[in-house]
Amino acid sequence: MKKLYALAALGTLLYSCNANQSAVENTGTEATTEATAATSDEPHRPQFHFTPPSGWMNDPNGMVYHNGEYHLFYQHNPDSTVWGPMHWGHAVSRDMVDWEHLPIALYPDSLGTIFSGSAVVDVNNTSGLGTAANPAMVAIFTYHNAEAEKAGKDDFQTQGIAFSLDNGRNWTKYEGNPVLENPGIRDFRDPKVLWYEEGQKWIMTLAVKDHISFYSSPNLLDWKLESDFGANVGAHGGVWECPDLFKLPVEGTDEEKWVLIVNINPGAPNGGSGTQYFIGNFDGSKFVMDPQFEAGLQAEPTIATTVNGQEGIWLDYGRDEYAGVTWANVPEEDGRRLFMGWMSNWAYANVVPTEKWRSAMTMARTLELVDTPAGLRVASYPVKELQHLYGPTYTLEAQDVAGALPISEKAPFSTPTFDLQLELERLSPDGQFAVELSNDQNQKALVGYDATRKQYYIDRRNAGDTSFSDDFAGIHYAPRLANGASFPVRLLVDVASVEFFADGGKTVMTDIFFPDGPFTKVRLLTESGEFKVDSGKLTELKSIYN
């Protein structure tokens, strides 16, 4: 019998397991209050980002929208604050901001522990696992068989499915698991499934060591290999993991293109794990890169968009966005492509200085395909629902900045949780700026623009505790994908992290930090040249635990 999730062990959980099939049944309601009490007042606990109440968390999994709820499952080790036997933790939200914690959805079984994957609603009941009136929510995940791995086998990762007929509250593993056997490849995982409307079939995008394999299925149960992509393109400094494939409209046109996300560890531009992507076309069988995108990818090392000589085009250039993928089944009326990543990096995730839990997710983001001087790129921006947490605002007047401009001093609040939006204007070509976040201990994080490199950066060298890993302190850079003198920038700051969105989300950077006191002080510094504030707002973000 597995150890039960502490918060759910109130007699509501019934766990059963046999050779190939297991089901977890529970009501899930008791978990909520305790989770809330446990998360309001601990050092470094984010106040508006999703964190597990306790234990280890990595990738977001199975993100799917159904009956008014956004589901977030996640890689979870409930018994420890370091990575270990993987389960799928579970939470739901009506706005991707305020989360209700639910009991663990998927436990390891005789086929293995439960690695990353996706979930879909089988609206047409192609699988026969639900009914037309009550379609099944189907989770497609990787079974990781640690014993087989230890025994020296290569085929220890296979794909399995589980289904729920009650909005993800109770799950049954499919008795015919695994639905996709391993052809003898050690890295064979993280299935992301979509319904391909044009061909009336399911497509599974799977990460296979150094490439992506596309499989198709009429029913989620029987899978056939369609094609492979990527062995010779993009970044290859590590293993390909957690892919995603979806269509996006090209902003300002009637065109649509396909985006293929490929997470990679290590090999990210600022070290460790990161999220790269490709733009092209998918015809139900093959993914082919857009010629313009491909040319950009090849030209990348020679133009200003390269960071630290790393190839690849990245969704987030910070060190702490990984395994990011998007929500399935978001209603057409909504029309958004919604994304969330894990806010850490495998380079140090297991040793960051938190005690009861490890890691947070990024804020949910909207992805859009936009034109930039480097060609079409995926821009991301925080979801508008974040406004549900808005508290008082301090509005900046238009002004020149000479040296330093205090911002938080005049704000009607003093919390390390805020949304800072600035419209800056560069008045001289050598103009560079930094937003400084600091505390009473004189620790600080800087988020700014380096005029010499023509790149944005986050400097967390003096942002608090860095002693836990030699690979943590540093300055991280990102290309600027906009021209001109106007620099619209936005920072979401939450106790132990900053998410930086420049030029409307064309450049994004996410970094975490562990200061000894809260970063409640904010200043704008112009270190060289001249900058002007055209407008600005500093808005308090309320805690989701209030």
Per-residue b or e along 371-389, where b marks 16 or more CB atoms closer than 10 Å to that residue's CB: ebebbbbbbbbbbebbebb
C-alpha–C-alpha distance, residues 385 and 8, integer Å: 29
Residue number with CB closer to ligand FRU (262 or 328): 262
Amino acid at the residue 155:
D
Contacts with ligand FRU by CB under 6 A: the residue count is: 12
Please, what is the minimum distance in Å from the beta carbon of residue 346 to ligand FRU?
7
- Phi and psi angles of residue 168, each rounded to the nearest 5 degrees, phi first: 80, 10
Output the six-digit token pair for 416: 């390390």
Residue pointed to by tokens 């079984």: 109
Distances (CA, A) of 256 to 252, 338, 410: 11, 17, 45
Residue number with CB closer to ligand FRU (142 or 497): 142
Amino acid at the residue 63:
M
Helix and strand numbers, DSSP H then E, in the chain = 3, 37
C-alpha–C-alpha distance, residues 343 and 10, integer Å: 31
Alpha helices in 275-339 (DSSP H): 291-299
Q: In what order do the strands lie in the sheet with 375-382?
A: 322-326, 337-342, 365-372, 375-382
Residue pointed to by tokens 């990348």: 300
Please, what is the minimum distance in Å from the beta carbon of residue 77 to ligand FRU?
9
C-alpha–C-alpha distance, residues 430 and 450, integer Å: 9
The helix (H) or strand (E) run that includes residue 34 is helix 31-38
Residue number with CB closer to ligand FRU (129 or 323): 323
Q: Lay out the site mask for ligand FRU across 222-241 (x = CB under 6 A, - = otherwise).
A: -------------------x
Please, what is the minimum distance in Å from the beta carbon of residue 357 to ligand FRU?
16
C-alpha–C-alpha distance, residues 344 and 358, integer Å: 9
C-alpha–C-alpha distance, residues 138 and 440, integer Å: 50
CA–CA–CA angle 275, 279, 283 (5° rounding): 120
Please, what is the minimum distance in Å from the beta carbon of residue 51 to ligand FRU?
17
Alpha helices in 101-195 (DSSP H): 146-150
Alpha helices in 166-263 (DSSP H): none
Residue number with CB closer to ligand FRU (350 or 520): 350
Cβ proximity of 420 and 445 under 8 Å: no
* Binding residue (CB under 6 A) for ligand FRU from 46, 53, 54, 59: 59
* Binding residue (CB under 6 A) for ligand FRU from 8, 13, 31, 86: 86
Q: Does 350 bind ligand FRU (CB under 6 A)?
A: no
* Binding residue (CB under 6 A) for ligand FRU from 116, 145, 216, 439: 116
* Binding residue (CB under 6 A) for ligand FRU from 115, 188, 229, 487: 115
* Binding residue (CB under 6 A) for ligand FRU from 105, 206, 323, 325: 323
* Binding residue (CB under 6 A) for ligand FRU from 75, 126, 362, 539: 75
C-alpha–C-alpha distance, residues 328 and 83, integer Å: 26
Output the six-digit token pair for 269: 């531009």
Which of 41, 59, 155, 419 is the catalytic position? Answer: 59
Q: Does 189 bind ligand FRU (CB under 6 A)?
A: yes
Residue number with CB closer to ligand FRU (359 or 417): 359
Residue number with CB closer to ligand FRU (114 or 203): 114
C-alpha–C-alpha distance, residues 326 and 313, integer Å: 18
Q: Lay out the site mask for ligand FRU across 137-176 (x = CB under 6 A, - = otherwise).
A: -----x----------------------------------
Please, what is the minimum distance in Å from the beta carbon of residue 242 to ligand FRU?
5
Residue number with CB closer to ligand FRU (189 or 480): 189
Q: Does 58 bind ligand FRU (CB under 6 A)?
A: yes
Please, what is the minimum distance in Å from the beta carbon of residue 47 to ligand FRU?
25
Q: Does 242 bind ligand FRU (CB under 6 A)?
A: yes
Please, what is the minimum distance in Å from the beta carbon of residue 433 to ligand FRU?
34
Strands (E), 165-223: 171-173, 188-196, 201-208, 211-217
Residue number with CB closer to ligand FRU (323 or 463): 323
Please, what is the minimum distance in Å from the beta carbon of residue 33 to ligand FRU?
29
Residue number with CB closer to ligand FRU (207 or 445): 207
Please, what is the minimum distance in Å from the beta carbon of residue 241 to ligand FRU?
4
The question of whether 59 is a catalytic residue gets the answer yes
Binding to ligand FRU (CB under 6 A): which residues in 365-404? Answer: none
Of the candidates 216, 126, 224, 235, the one whose C-alpha atom is nearest the C-alpha of residue 183 is: 224
- Active centre residues (catalytic): 59
Could you list the residues that contact ligand FRU (CB under 6 A)?
58-59, 75, 86, 115-116, 142, 189-190, 241-242, 323
